[in-house]
Structure 1
């Protein structure tokens, strides 16, 4: 039987949200996709003055990384949505 890539249960927390975002993704899904989905789930719209990104174990995750690269053999990931004000934005 071929080794099927496992799905990863993703939980994203955001300081201003009442509850976390939960979804199961294939390991080949990029962090950028999860970021976009979680922003939508939290009702966040980009206004050009804030940068949004995901963190895992205290480190920012590049949007081109896949969940499988971050999770390794784990079947679940807890990510944190963070914001950064863009300097000079008006």
Structure 2
């Protein structure tokens, strides 16, 4: 049976305590981003009609899912469109 895919912010069993503690107090951070990152954020803001903060949350959450799958769970990520399949590689 295939392993279920976790959504952004969803934890594996036994990690609920860590997730609850992390949700308790938001942390304000200041970061400098390059133009490509800002363009990606702007695209999410425009398409989803969300704030910059929400766009950051979403893209970080998506990135976490991909990162954990590859780095922690040793899974292979594939993107399929029609008959074309590409592998996602995280350096």
Query: Same fold by TM (over 0.5)?
Result: no
Higher strand share: 1
Higher helix share: 2
Rg comparison, structure with higher value: 2
Higher relative contact order (CA 8 A, sep 6+): 1
**TM-score, normalised with respect to structure 1:** 0.21
